[in-house]
Amino acid sequence: MAISVPSIAEPPDLLVVDDIEVVYDGAILAVSGISLKVADGAIVALLGANGAGKSTTLKAVSGIVQADRARISRGCIHFDGRDVTGLAPNLLAHQGVVHVLEGRHVFPQLSVEDNLRSGGFLRKLGRREMNAALERIYAWLPRLKVKRQTAAGLTSGGEQQMLALGRALMTGPRLVLLDEPSMGLAPILVEEIFGIISHLNASENIGFVVAEQNVNVALRHAHYGYVIENGRVVDEGPAQRLAEQENIHHYYLGGTVA
């Protein structure tokens, strides 16, 4: 790894984003020089107000930028020591990076179970392995099991968010990019989802990058955080330090978050 030189005590970095710039439609500069690192098995929070560039940063990492007519015009991204800048999303998924898009993008016409199964296609699971993988997901997200035959479009917002997460987990990821999992959900569901994230992180060593406006919850579960403003990183640090920082809500997030 050329960019990060891990010290003896720290685990090596799983993801290194180095000074990327992202342009939509060849003209709109959405991210201008963001760098961040995710240590192996860490939960990292990306904080920032509307339009700060959180989603764009995640899309740049997962390669989904291409589908939104955007491109990385500067900088590079390394995953597990390999340069993955500009790689197509399906190839990145094969390497273990999966993106849970902002706003619960489940496949509405497919049943809950087919949604989950579609996540398992990547690993070419056989029938028995597929069923075992589904049972694991149902153990983590028991609400989904009850709804397994329901069309995903007819489930509740919280269930769809869990389904999107469960489907991503079916790909067997090493790093999950989660975009605003708390959006539009009741506080108790937000807690439940973050609880599951912490659990998966501890028990399965899955890394997470979570873009959130819900600063309190995000920092409570994350190890490290980055604050993004106008497409740049304006502050970073261990989650605990950021959480204790009085001004974080007011200066960076426009005081929008309770």
Ligand X SMILES: Nc1ncnc2c1ncn2[C@@H]1O[C@H](COP(=O)(O)OP(=O)(O)OP(=O)(O)O)[C@@H](O)[C@H]1O
Minimum distance, C-beta of residue 57 to another protein, in the bound complex (Å) = 15
In this complex, which beta carbon is closest to ligand X, that of residue 20 or of residue 134?
A: 20
In this complex, which beta carbon is closest to ligand X, that of residue 55 or of residue 155?
A: 55
In the list 23, 56, 64, 219, the residue contacting ligand X (rule: CB under 6 A) is: 56
Tell me the backbone φ, ψ of residue 120, rounded to 5 degrees: -80, -10
Measuring CA to CA, how many Å separate 111 from each of 22, 123, 192? 35, 20, 23
In this complex, which beta carbon is closest to another protein, that of residue 123 or of residue 220?
A: 123
How many Å apart are CA 1 and CA 43, to the nearest integer? 21
Map the footprint of ligand X across residues 61-120, applying CB under 6 A: 68, 102
Q: For 208, what's the count of Cα atoms within 13 Å in the CB-facing half-sphere?
A: 32
Q: Are strands 43-47 and 224-229 parallel, antiparallel or unpaired?
A: parallel
Q: By C-alpha distance, which of 22, 112, 104, 108 is closest to 64?
A: 22
Binding site partner of 168, from Mg ion, another protein, ligand X, none, Cβ cut-off 5-8 A by kind: another protein
Which residue is closest to Mg ion by CB? Answer: 55
In the list 16, 31, 55, 125, the residue contacting Mg ion (rule: CB under 5 A) is: 55
Binding track over 5-24 against ligand X, x by CB under 6 A: -------------------x
Binding track over 89-118 against Mg ion, x by CB under 5 A: -------------x----------------
Yes or no: say if 87 and 60 are a contact pair by the CB < 8 Å rule.
no
Yes or no: say if 163 and 144 are a contact pair by the CB < 8 Å rule.
yes
Minimum distance, C-beta of residue 132 to another protein, in the bound complex (Å) = 17
From 46-54, 75-83, 106-114, 193-201, span contacting ligand X (CB under 6 A): 46-54
Q: Which long-range contacts (CB under 8 A, 24 or more apart) does 243-252 make?
A: 243/215, 243/216, 243/219, 248/47, 248/215, 249/215, 252/47, 252/48, 252/49, 252/227
Enumerate binding residues for ligand X (CB under 6 A): 24-25, 28, 30, 48, 50-56, 68, 102, 213
